[in-house]
Amino acid sequence: MRVIAGTAKGRPLRAVPGMNTRPTTDKVKEAIFSMIGPYFDGGWALDLFAGTGGLGIEALSRGAERAVFVDRDRQSVDVVRRNVEAAGMADRAEIYRNDADRAIKALGKRGLEFRLVFLDPPYRMTDMDKVMGEMDKLGLLEDGASIVVEHDSAHTYPEQAGPFIQQKHSRYGETAVTIYTYRADRGARGGREHATE
C-alpha cells in the first residue's frame, strides 16, 4: 500500500497486523479519488473506520486541509499514527480511538463540518445510511459534501437517503463503492424533518 498521488505520492503505508482489517486496495482507492476529486482545495475530511488511515491520508495528500481519523481498534490507531507521520502529515491530522457513534457525537459538539467523509466499516455493518443520517442531524457536513461508502458488493444502498443523493456506484469483485452528495437544503438543518426513504 502506498499514497497514490499528491504531496505524499509514493510514500509506503503500513498495514494493520492480523486479519481483522481489510485495507482499501490501491486500485479501489485510485478509482474512489478519480470519482470525487482527484484533488481538493482545502476542507476537512473524516475517515470514520480508519483502519490504516489510507483514505484520509490520500485526501490530505491531494489537498484536504485537515483530516480526523477514528477507529475503535488500538492496533489500527497505532498504525494510523505511524502512517500519518510517515506521510509527513501529523500536523494536519487528529487521531482518536473511539467507536463511530460516540465519535460523531463528540465531533458534532465541536461544531466541525466535513467536506469529505469515508465510511469503510467491517462488511458485516450495512447501516451506513443511518450513520450518514446522524451526521446530518449533528450538522457535521458541508453543503455538497462527498460521502464515500465502501461495502460488500452483495449489499445495495438506496439511491437517495434523505438529503444524500447517490452519485456513483461501482463494483470491484467483492467490494463495492457507493458515493453520495449531501444536500443541506434537504437535511435536518434545511428547515424540514429528516426524510425517510
- Cβ atoms < 10 Å from Cβ of 134: 16
Please say whether the dihedral angle defined by the alpha carbons of residues 103, 134, 149 and 151, taken in this order, is positive or negative: positive
Question: Would you give per-residue pLDDT tens digits along the chain (197 residues)?
Answer: 899 999 999 999 999 887 666 778 888 999 999 999 999 999 999 999 999 999 999 999 999 999 999 999 999 999 999 999 999 999 999 999 999 999 999 999 999 999 999 999 998 999 999 999 999 999 999 999 999 999 999 999 999 999 999 999 999 999 999 999 999 998 876 643 443 33
> What is the torsion angle, in degrees rounded to the nearest 10, for the CA atoms of residue 188, residue 165, residue 114 and residue 124?
100
pLDDT of residue 189: 67
Is residue 80 within 8 A of residue 71, CB to CB? The reply is: yes
pLDDT of residue 71: 97
pLDDT of residue 192: 38
Q: Among all chains, which residue has been given the C-alpha cell 434545511?
A: 190
d(CA 105, CA 100): 9
What is the phi/psi pair of residue 93, to 5°?
-130, 145
The count of residues in the chain is: 197
pLDDT of residue 191: 44
Put simply, whether the predicted model's pTM sits higher than 0.85 gets the answer: yes
Cis amide prior to 38 (ω within 30 degrees): yes
pLDDT of residue 197: 35
* Cα separation values, 35 from 88, 112, 197, Å: 25, 24, 25
Q: Which residues contact 78 (CB under 8 A, 6 or more apart)?
A: none
Class of domain 28-190: alpha beta
Alpha-helical runs (H) found in the chain: 26-36, 54-61, 74-86, 100-109, 128-137
d(CA 184, CA 178): 19
Domain ranges across the chain: 28-190
